[in-house]
């Protein structure tokens, strides 16, 4: 998933004042740009406190942007997402009543009042950003626009999940001391990376790109992994998977399911070749046609545990593992371990086709 985070802040870093009225920090030009960014996304996410304080609709209102989405075969309305521990959300909020997009609420408790107005995703474990992202990805969301408030931005930043951060700073607005007003802060050092600064009318736009776009290489090596998966013999008890390891020095090692042993997974085969060649795997990328496994009966260590142990930095795959044999949480475990996980569902149909022997 690609995560684009955005906020408007005053010159002294506030995202709102302490009053009950909504403070407009952006200029019309900036609001128009935010509309364009929303329209380029599949879903928008804000924290539950923002819904309670501002009751925003979170829609793409611009007719041209809606028409463009329609022309691209996408729904005019983007999906909406929020998350809560308290459950203090009213079904009459604009979040639920406006727009035809899907509405998702992540909650640590059941919320019967929201039945019929949203899909409530109840999580039993602590709600983490990796869990939220993984669950949204499984529901087809590839581009997520995160609009605040400050605690929500911090929630994604701490997990290292923000790809791009855009701060629109109104240099003419300064609030001074405002006890209790929401202020944007990040952990020390988080913003100490190169960023760009441009002007948009009265606003200064600061943009950080934390993870450069690597989709071209990702797609090329994923296609190679899918081709490798075709070499794997069909078996009623396993998926046919292909894998390519790319070390940080650019060396490539390949493998496919059962290549040298009837219990080996594709990732294991590729890693075995890399280790035999003396390659350094810390910081490497794993390209698998299907999500790396998290639990298996045939061997003691799962592929995701192996990748964490060896210090892989990235995991790229085309298709989440269907709940056929076990309920897989490979992507989630990898994200929780700090691995940058990227999924390319545009190639997922091919992976299903290679595994048609299991789904007939």
Q: Residue 151 and residue 240: Cα distance in Å, rounded?
A: 42
| Token representation of residue 27 | 């200029």
147 touches ligand NAP by CB under 6 A: yes
The residue from 2, 84, 170, 302 that contacts ligand NAP (CB under 6 A) is: 84
108 touches ligand NAP by CB under 6 A: yes
Number of other CB atoms surrounding residue 284 within 10 Å: 24
Q: Residue 42 and residue 102: Cα distance in Å, rounded?
A: 10
By C-beta, is 87 or 337 nearer to ligand NAP?
87
151 touches ligand NAP by CB under 6 A: yes
By C-beta, is 159 or 271 nearer to ligand NAP?
159
The residue from 5, 8, 245, 341 that contacts ligand NAP (CB under 6 A) is: 8
127 touches ligand NAP by CB under 6 A: yes
By C-beta, is 50 or 232 nearer to ligand NAP?
50
> Minimal distance in Å, beta carbon 108 to ligand NAP?
6
CB under 6 A: which stretch of 141-149, 171-179, 287-295, 297-305 binds ligand NAP? Answer: 141-149
Number of other CB atoms surrounding residue 251 within 10 Å: 13
101 touches ligand NAP by CB under 6 A: no
CB under 6 A: which stretch of 147-155, 252-260, 292-300, 347-355 binds ligand NAP? Answer: 147-155
- Cα–Cα distances in angstroms (integers) from residue 77 to residues 39, 74, 89, 148, 324, in the given order: 8, 9, 21, 19, 33
185 touches ligand NAP by CB under 6 A: no
Q: Which residues of 341-357 are buried (b: 16+ CB within 10 A; e: fewer)?
A: bbbbeebbebbeebbee
130 touches ligand NAP by CB under 6 A: no
**71 SS3 class:** helix
> What number of residues does the chain have?
360
**333 SS3 class:** helix
* Residues found near ligand NAP in the complex (CB under 6 A): 7-8, 15-16, 25, 46-50, 53-54, 83-86, 88, 108, 127, 147-152, 155, 182
């Amino acid at each position: 998933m690609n995560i684009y985070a955005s906020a408007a802040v005053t010159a002294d870093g506030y995202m709102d004042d302490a009053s009950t009225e909504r403070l407009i920090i952006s200029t019309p030009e900036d609001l128009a740009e935010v509309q364009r960014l929303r329209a380029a996304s599949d879903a928008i996410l804000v924290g539950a406190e923002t819904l309670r304080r501002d009751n925003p609709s979170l829609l793409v209102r611009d007719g041209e942007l809606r028409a463009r989405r329609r022309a691209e075969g996408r729904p005019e309305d983007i999906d909406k997402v929020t998350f809560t521990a308290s459950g203090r959300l009213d079904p009459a909020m604009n979040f639920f009543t406006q727009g035809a997009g899907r509405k998702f609420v992540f909650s640590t408790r059941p919320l019967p009042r929201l039945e019929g107005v949203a899909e409530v995703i109840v999580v039993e474990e602590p709600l983490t950003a990796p869990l939220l992202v993984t669950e949204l990805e499984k529901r087809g969301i590839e581009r997520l626009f995160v609009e605040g408030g400050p605690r929500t931005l911090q929630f994604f930043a701490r997990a290292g999940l923000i790809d791009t951060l855009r701060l629109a700073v109104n240099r003419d607005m300064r609030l001074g001391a405002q006890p209790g007003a929401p202020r944007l802060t990040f952990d020390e050092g988080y913003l100490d990376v190169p960023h760009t600064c441009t002007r948009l009318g009265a606003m200064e736009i600061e943009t950080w790109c934390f993870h450069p776009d690597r989709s071209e290489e990702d797609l090329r090596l994923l296609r190679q992994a899918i081709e490798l998966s075709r070499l794997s013999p069909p078996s009623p008890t396993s998926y046919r998977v292909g894998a390519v390891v790319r070390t940080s020095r650019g060396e490539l090692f390949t493998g496919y399911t059962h290549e040298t042993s009837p219990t080996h997974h594709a990732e294991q085969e590729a890693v075995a070749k890399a280790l035999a060649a003396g390659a350094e795997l810390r910081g490497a990328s794993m390209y698998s046609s299907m999500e790396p496994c998290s639990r298996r009966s045939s061997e003691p260590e799962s592929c995701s545990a192996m990748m964490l142990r060896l210090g892989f930095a990235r995991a790229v795959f085309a298709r989440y593992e269907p709940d056929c044999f076990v309920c897989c949480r490979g992507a989630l475990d990898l994200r929780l371990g700090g691995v940058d996980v990227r999924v390319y569902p545009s190639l997922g149909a091919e992976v299903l086709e290679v595994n048609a022997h299991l789904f007939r």
